[in-house]
Amino acid sequence: QVQLVESGGGLVQAGGSLRLSCAASGRTFSSYAMGWFRQAPGKEREFVAAISRSIGYTYYADSVKGRFTISRDNAKNTVYLQMNSLKAEDTAVYYCAAAERMTDSGAYYSGSQYHYWGQGTQVTVSS
């Protein structure tokens, strides 16, 4: 099992930047694919970004492509989400998630493929 703890959320003006971190427990962090999802009030949870476990292939939602960057540091058991050029519509609770395996590249985009979730961190972008 793995436990996930997000940090780095907060209040930022539109156009600003934030970096989210997700610290994972356990010694097998490098064997998990990692993802970021978000949920805005009154909306369903949506995929934001993901990174594969070994080579580090990355996947992004169209809405954040070019603005957000996901990365991982396996030595620190941490995955990051660098968010630039933030918009009011990026306001949401952001969740980190881990998956033991992915069947194909399409699986990265589906929350049902992830086995472990963090508690979330609030990101609020003021316009």
Place of tokens 């508690």: 119
- Residue 122: the pLDDT is 98
CA dist 79 and 36 (Å) reads 9
Buried b (16+ CB within 10 A) or exposed e, 85-96: ebeeebbbbbbb
CA dist 48 and 42 (Å) reads 17
- Residue 26: the pLDDT is 79
pLDDT in tens, 22-63: 999 977 899 999 999 999 999 999 999 999 997 889 999 999
Confidence band of 124 (pLDDT split at 50, 70, 90): very high
- Residue 120: the pLDDT is 98
- Residue 37: the pLDDT is 98
Interval 88-95 mean pLDDT: 98
Place of tokens 């086995």: 115
pLDDT in tens, 96-122: 999 998 888 889 999 999 999 999 999
